[in-house]
Every structure is written in C-alpha cells, then in structure tokens.
Amino acid sequence: MTLLRLHNLRAGYGGGDIVHGVDLEVAPGEMVALVGPNGAGKSTLLKSIAGVANVTGGTLTLDGTDLVPLPPAGRAQAGAVFMPQERNVFRTLTVAENLQVSAWGRKDIARRQEEVTTLLPTMSAYMHKRAGGLSGGQRQMVGLGMALMARPRVLLVDEPTAGLSPLLVGEMLDVLRQLAAVAALGILIVEQNARAALERADRALVLVDGRVVRSGSAAALAQEPDFGALFFGEAA
Amino acid sequence: MQMLVNALATAAILAPAAVAFTLIFTLFRYANFAAGGFVTVGAFAAWTLNAPLGLPLWAGGVGAMGVCAGAVALSDRVVFRPLRGRGGGTLLLVSIALSFVIENIIRFGYGAQVKGFDLPLTGPLVFAGLRVPKETLAVIAISLVATLAVGALLAFTPIGRAVRAVADNPSLANVRGLPVPGVEAFGVIVAGALFGLSGTLVGVDLAIDPNLNWAIAIPVIAAAIVGGLGSPLGAAIGAIVIGLAEELTAAYFTPTYKGAVGFVVIALVLLLRPQGLLGLKVDRK
Amino acid sequence: MDAYFVAILTIAGIYVILALALNLQFGLTGLVNFGVVGFFGLGAYASGITTESFHAPFLGGLAVAMATGAIAGALLALMCLRLSGDFLAIVTLGFAETIRLIFNNEDWLTGGPKGLLIMTRPVFADLGRAANAWMVLGVVLLGVALTLALMLRLAGTPYGRVLRAIREDELVPATLGKDVFVYRLQSFVIGSMLMAGAGSLYAHYVQTITPDNFTTPVAILVWMSVIVGGPGNTVGAVVGALAVVTIYEGSRFLSPWLGFLDAEQVSALRFVVIGTALILVIRFRPEGLLPEPRHRPVVPATSRPALKG
C-alpha cells in the first residue's frame, strides 16, 4: 500500500523549477531517504510536498487525496507533516508550550502530548525549560515532537542532523527509524550524512540537479561502487 | 507617599498602551508610533459617548476599546499589511504619518478646544494623611486588572500561546498549522482595546485634546523600551518607571519638563542598558 | 503677488536645504531622523540668541547655529547609532519634543511662548521692504547653492558610494575595511549641521520665532520632500521640496472654496491630505518621482533600495 505518491512532480520558488519531474512513493512504516549533492533540490522537493515551496507540475497525493490545492496547514491536517531544518522550535516558549501550540485547535492536546512524550521519552527531562536554552540535539527532539503532535501519517524531515555531533547523528536517525516502525509512519528524510541515512533507511533516492538519478533499496545503493561519485554529483 | 500615588496613576495610564505597543512590536517587528494617535482616538471616543451622548464613563470606556480595536485593525489591514516585508524604518515612517493623519482627523472633527469627561464630583479618600481622589484609585485599579488580565491571557491560554508562537516565528507557526493571520488579527484587536483603555484613563486625568498624540506617544514608547520590548510584564514595569521619573522630575526639578522625561529615560536606557530592564538585547539588524 | 512669490521662494529654499540634509542622512545613509524639526529649531534659536543677546552679526549667528546643530547631532548619534534603526528614530523624535519644551519654558533665553524677536537681518543696508526681501532670498539661494554643490560632490565621490553601501548592507563596507560607525556618524552630523543652518536662515528671515514654528508638520513636509523626490537622489530632494512647498503653500488658495470650514478645520484638512499622500507615495512609489540612479553593482540588488530602516 502506498501512502504518499509523487508523479512527475515539478517544484520551485517562483523563479523557475528546481525539481524537474520526480516520481516517488512512501508506504506506512517505511523510511525513505533523499540523498544527493548540495543544491540538488532535495529540500525544495520536501518543502513542495509540505506546501512551503510551489508545486508547478505533476501530481502529489496522500492516500489518494490531492495535496496540491491545500495550504501548508491543510496538508499537515491531511497527514503530511513537515519538520523544517532550522529554526524549528519556538525559542521563547517552553518545550511543553511548543508541543501544545503545535496541536492548535485539537481537542485532545493533553493526550497527544502524552503520546509524544511516550514516543520520545528523553524529552520529559526538559519539558518545562525554554526551547531557546536547549542543546542542539534536544532542540531537534522538540522539533520532532512538535511535528508528531499533528499525528502525521507521513513525516517530512529536512536534515534533522544538521549541526549535530556524529554521535547524535546516529541517535537521531535511530529515533526516526524506530518511529517509522512503532507508529507505522511513512518517513521521507533529506539527509546530508548519506551513509548514516542509508544504513537506516529502507529505500533511497539519489537526486542530482532536480532529477532522480538512482533509486532502490538503501542497502543496495550503499553497496554501489560509484556511490561516492553519485553523491557528489559527478556521474549525472 | 503622595508622589507614589501620582506616579502609579501615571503608570496606570501608560501601562495598557505600552503593553499594546510591545504586543505589536513583537508580532510585526516595527515600532508603531501611531500609539499616541490611537490613545487619542480612545480618549475622544470615550468622551463622545460620555459627554454629548450622556452614557456613564464605564460604557464610554468599553466603547472606546471597541472603537480603538476597530481603528487599529483597520489601520493594520489598510496601511501596514501591504507594507510588511519592507524595512522597519519604512513602517516606522508610515506610522508617524498615520499618527499625524489621525491627530488631524480628530482636530478636523472636534476642533482644538480642550474637553473633559462628565464625571460626578466625588470627594477624595483620606487615609493616613493621604488624599487620593476616588477617580485616581479607579484608574489604578482598572489598569492593574486589565494589564494582569492581558498578561495572564498571553501566559496561560491557548490563544495567548499562539500569539507568542506567531510573534516568535511566523513561518514556523504556519508550518505547524497555526492560523497565523487570525492569530495576528487577535493580537491587533487586543492591542487596539488596550490603546482604547489608555485613552479613557488618560481622559480622567488630563485634558482631552488632539495634542495628546505626541504628549502620550513618547512616554508610552519609553515605557515599552524600558521594559525591553519583549514582554508585557516588562512594559508594565516600564510604565511604573516612567511614572516615577515624571513625578520625581515634577517634584524636585520642574513640572514643565515632565514631557521630556520619556526622552531622557530612553536616552539613559540606551546608554546604560540597551536591552531594556527586562528582555532581549536589541542589536542593529 | 511679487512679494508673495519672493516669500514662497525663500521658504522653498529653506525646505530645499532641509530636504538635502535629510536626504544625506536617510536617502544616502539610511538613518531615520525624525528630529528634523529639532535641529531646525535649535539652529534658529541658537542663531537668534547669538545675534540678539550677544550682538553678533548674521554670519556669527549662522556659525554658532551650525556648530550647535553639529554638536547635538553628534551627541544623539553617539548615543544610538550602534543600535537598531528604530532607536535613532525614537531618540530623534524625543529630542525634537524636548527641544520644543525648552523653547517654551526657558523664557529668559528664548522668550518662551511669546517668541524671540530677531532684529539682525542678512542684508547689507536697509533698502526698503521689497529690496530687503530680495536680498534675504539671495542669501537663502546662496545657501541652497552651497548645500547642493556639497551634496552633489558627496554623492558622486567614493565617500557617497560608501554611504550607500552602508545603507544597503553594512557588512559589505565593513568587510572592505571601512568603519561603518564613523561614516554614519559623519553623515548624521553633517546633516544635522545643515538643518541647523537652515534654521538660522529661517530665523533671520521671519524675524520672530516661536516654539510653534517648530512642530511636527515641518518635519512631515521635509520627509515628504525626500520621499516624493526619491530617497538617495540629490536632485530629487530639491525637486521634491519645491513640489511639496508649492502644493502646500498653494493649497492656501483653496480655502475660499472651503468657506463652510473654519480656519482650524482647513489647516487640519491640509495636514490630513499631506499625511495620507505621504503614506500613499511610500506604498505605491517608494522610489519617488526621480528614482536614485543605480550605476554601480556594489551590492546585489535583491533588496528594496529606497526605504530601509
């Protein structure tokens, strides 16, 4: 069963396309990694799914629902929830407030907060601190928790390990891997640390210049001898 | 002691408007100099309902809060929203021009004669040798309740949380599914109502005329700056500081320079503590 | 009519100097000075007091006025130029209000609300009303010419380009090794000095100055001149000031058709129109009538050139 389906998707920020026709599918419980050189359009692709960048052509559906006409909030409501790369917490609010405000308009905020705390137990240690005073790893965890408050079906994660120490990179990716399994979440992740991502993802796509140049099982891709070349965009 | 009462009365007038100024600053990142203009609108709205129309002053005050909320929301939609994304200097200049327009619309409609509320005469309360007019007590009590209520609204309610979230990072708020325009509109209306309240309170204490505009704008902005431009609590404390400074100036220097106190306090704050008494450091962008 | 024409030209000339000074501060360097009227008034009173109380000639008054303006400008700038632009705006506005309070309250020095009577005139000999008026106009126009020459030179030199670069993005000049603060300070001080100089010319032209001469409407008109003319464009500031003063003074002739309004209402209405026009110009034509010529690709033109805090 496929949850998120992109067909020939084109996207950009209004000044010409950056993503030139991408086909992609994500199933529940599946973690799919988007890797590729800088400027390949990975983040733009992710943001166009979230509604933060513009879809200029192709189709984008979540469980059969057309996402394209929906604003970012509508897409989140439909289940496609985005976790931005940076500035992804409200720094002046406490962690608890960050979670609560992320479930705006829902009746069961307390229950959701409990759920999220169960999924990400480390967060309870700093639940009542201001998010601005947390460490980088803690902030990413809060950002993830905020995304989970919307009860996503597909989580769109943009470089969750940016700026984290190598030890924390693995930890963060493990948390995501587990989330996919435990909550039957589809996860689409853009990741700079390609090797670390391929170790955990089910499938992966290599994006170069806005096009998919290779895709398949993450383990198989990681084994390919020209992976480094692909990653750095020399073989496109 | 008498001085403390007077200082509190001044603070009570300034505090709601300073909180409103801070609220608009945190939501939209520009200094809205039309603050004085909106307070003047509030004073005239309350006067219109009270003196010519004969309503009790509390009703005039409620009406003034409504009128001001409408005026601020309208100005936001017509004047400021189309300019969002331009520099803070642009919005600031526009807010000064707007203040000037508001002042002169009022002058056009009401003339320049000084007006006062129609209030029943009441004797002062006397205790421990201190004579406090009942109106002054009412002004202090109402302002205190209103400021605390707005503070609690922002600190503890879901909508208050949403306002703080939008003020912190509007694009993230959008991604996290908050109705950003609605939350901003709510903030604008609360700010407008607070301006209206300040306008009513200032009319109890001072003469109501179009020149209130600049006379009130500078101490209000000074209070907000002293408070650090980040928190409503800071703005309220800032108002007390300005009130005290004005009374000290009047008592030990000369009352004629009360109007310069706001400027001097801003200058001192900038020299000694650019981040305000509470709140974040505001560096050059 | 002749006398009226001379009077309007004289006033227009004074506004041209004010607009050129503000254009240096805001248009070229991006410094938001809402205290225009404070420096203008400071210059007027400094000059008047110097010539009347100390019997100095006109040029002495002018020199003292400009020195006072420069010192006041330097003090304000030192206080807040390192901070966000909003603070400069607030402080300068507060400065203008405070200055006016001083004019109003220090009767021994300024004559208080009754005003200061100034006998000294910038004329060689008393040749009767009309000739005197022409001579004063000549002095004002000389002031305009000198200011304009200075501004045109400044704007064209590398110095002017550094100021522009500071306005656009202060990181660029900083990386070129320019001390941004010093440049901003200089620009602000020169502008304040010129505003005070304009105040001196005004004082010796009208001969009676009261605190009411130095209120917000003056500042709004000067800002209007710079915005309408095109911020950053020196010639634009001149054209803007001429246009604004012509329209403002010309609107007096409308009052006969507005007979149903009293004088207070007519004056208020003019200010409403001016303020609204200023907002509309900023919204719909922020580059002004004469957009600033943009000839050097020092900074990527991604941001709005005209109005930045």
A100 shares contact with chain B (CB less than 8 Å): yes
Structure confidence at residue C294 (pLDDT): 62
CA B176, CA A194: separation in Å to the nearest integer? Answer: 27
CA distances from A56 to A19, A76, A190, B18, C51 (A): 9, 20, 21, 46, 72
Q: How far apart are the first and last CA of chain A?
A: 31
| C-alpha distance from C101 to closest chain B C-alpha (Å) | 7
C255 shares contact with chain B (CB less than 8 Å): no
CA A146, CA C223: separation in Å to the nearest integer? Answer: 47
Task: Give the mean pLDDT of A206-235.
Answer: 77
What's the mean per-residue pLDDT of chain C?
A: 86
B161/A88 CB distance under 8 A:
no
**Percentage helix, strand, coil, to 5, in chain B?**
75, 5, 20
Q: What is the pLDDT of residues A34-88, one digit of tens each?
A: 988 888 889 999 999 999 899 999 999 999 899 999 988 888 889 999 999 888 9
**Which of C272, C280, C284, C308 to probe the B interface (max B CBs under 10 A)?**
C272
Q: What is the 3-state secondary structure (H, E, C) of A129-164?
A: CEHHHCCHHHHHHHHHHHHHCCCCCEEEEECCCCCC
ipTM more than 0.85?
A: yes
C105/B257 CB distance under 8 A:
yes
- Per residue of chain B (285 residues), what is the pLDDT tens digit? 788 888 999 999 999 999 999 999 999 888 899 999 999 999 999 999 998 998 999 999 999 999 999 999 999 999 999 998 787 678 888 999 999 999 999 999 998 888 888 887 777 777 777 778 888 899 999 999 999 999 999 999 999 999 999 999 998 998 898 999 999 999 999 999 999 999 999 999 888 999 888 889 999 999 998 888 888 889 999 999 999 999 999 888 887 888 889 888 888 887 776 665 544 444 333
B178 shares contact with chain A (CB less than 8 Å): yes
What's the whole-model pTM score?
0.88
C75 shares contact with chain B (CB less than 8 Å): no
CA A131, CA A91: separation in Å to the nearest integer? Answer: 5
Residues 170-209, chain C: which have Cβ within 8 Å of B? 170
A88 shares contact with chain B (CB less than 8 Å): yes
Instruction: Count how many pairs of residues, chain B against chain C, have C-beta atoms within 8 Å.
Output: 152
Tokens of C178: 């320019």
> Which residues in chain B are closer than 8 Å to A82, comparing Cβ atoms?
175
Residues with Cβ within 8 Å of C300's Cβ and at least 6 positions away in sequence, in order, are: none
Structure confidence at residue A213 (pLDDT): 87
Q: What percent of chain A has pLDDT over 90?
A: 57
**Which of B175, B178, B180, B229 to probe the A interface (max A CBs under 10 A)?**
B175
C309 shares contact with chain B (CB less than 8 Å): yes
B161 shares contact with chain A (CB less than 8 Å): yes
Structure confidence at residue C1 (pLDDT): 55
**CB burial readout A205-226, b (16+ within 10 A) else e:** bbbbebebebbeebeebbeeee
| C-alpha distance from B121 to closest chain C C-alpha (Å) | 33
CA C97, CA A236: separation in Å to the nearest integer? Answer: 67
φ, ψ at A57 (rounded to 5°): -175, 165
**Residue A33 C-beta-side C-alpha neighbours within 13 Å:** 29
**Which of C79, C84, C262 to probe the B interface (max B CBs under 10 A)?**
C84
